[in-house]
């Protein structure tokens, strides 16, 4: 594996947690292995591993983008990741308020619903 992959898998585990990454790795087939390698090297090894902004800030940016694009399963996954990145529920709420203004109220409304459900599953009181 490349240095970028190795950096990426460490970062991926630090953000998403070992259990999530272990499940993804266990579910990987020859069919989707190139995709898993791509996101590990590209997203996690190239972008998330940069030092120019914090993982907390990257977490908030990612949540806003995912909500704006309507990727609800990924929103839930990245809400769970806030336990590792340090983004608070209040900061996530603020990111979704930006989504309402810049990407639309329906997207922000659904993002808030997904966040409430996910935080409840995590045992986080809002």
pLDDT tens digits, one per residue of 47-74: 999 999 999 999 999 999 999 999 999 9
Domains of the chain in start order, with CATH, are 1-52 (no CATH), 53-126 (1.20.1290.10)
- Please say if the pLDDT value at position 77 is more than 90: yes
Please state the rounded mean pLDDT for residues 24-36.
95
Q: What dihedral do alpha carbons 7, 11, 13, 17 form, nearest 10°?
A: 180
How confident is the model over 1-25, as a mean pLDDT? 96
Whether the pLDDT of residue 123 is over 90: the answer is yes
In this predicted model, what pLDDT tens digit does every residue of 90-122 receive, in sequence order?
Answer: 999 999 999 999 999 999 999 999 999 999 999
How does the average pLDDT of the chain come out, rounded? Answer: 97
Q: pTM of the predicted model, to two decimals?
A: 0.94
Query: What local confidence, expressed as pLDDT, does residue 112 receive?
Result: 98
Tokens of 110: 């659904």
Q: What is the pLDDT of residues 19-28, one digit of tens each?
A: 999 999 999 9
pLDDT of 1 strictly over 90: no
pLDDT at 33 over 90: yes
């Amino acid at each position: 594996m490349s240095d970028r992959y190795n950096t990426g898998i460490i970062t991926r585990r630090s953000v998403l947690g070992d259990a999530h990454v272990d499940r993804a790795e266990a579910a990987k087939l020859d069919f989707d292995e190139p995709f898993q390698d791509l996101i590990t090297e590209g997203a996690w090894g190239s972008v998330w591993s940069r030092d120019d902004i914090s993982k907390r800030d990257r977490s908030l940016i990612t949540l806003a983008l995912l909500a704006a694009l309507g990727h609800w399963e990924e929103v839930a996954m990245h809400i769970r990741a806030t336990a590792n990145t340090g983004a608070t529920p209040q900061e996530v709420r603020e990111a979704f308020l930006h989504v309402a203004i810049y990407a639309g109220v329906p997207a922000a409304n659904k993002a808030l619903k997904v966040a409430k459900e996910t935080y409840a599953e995590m045992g986080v009181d809002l």
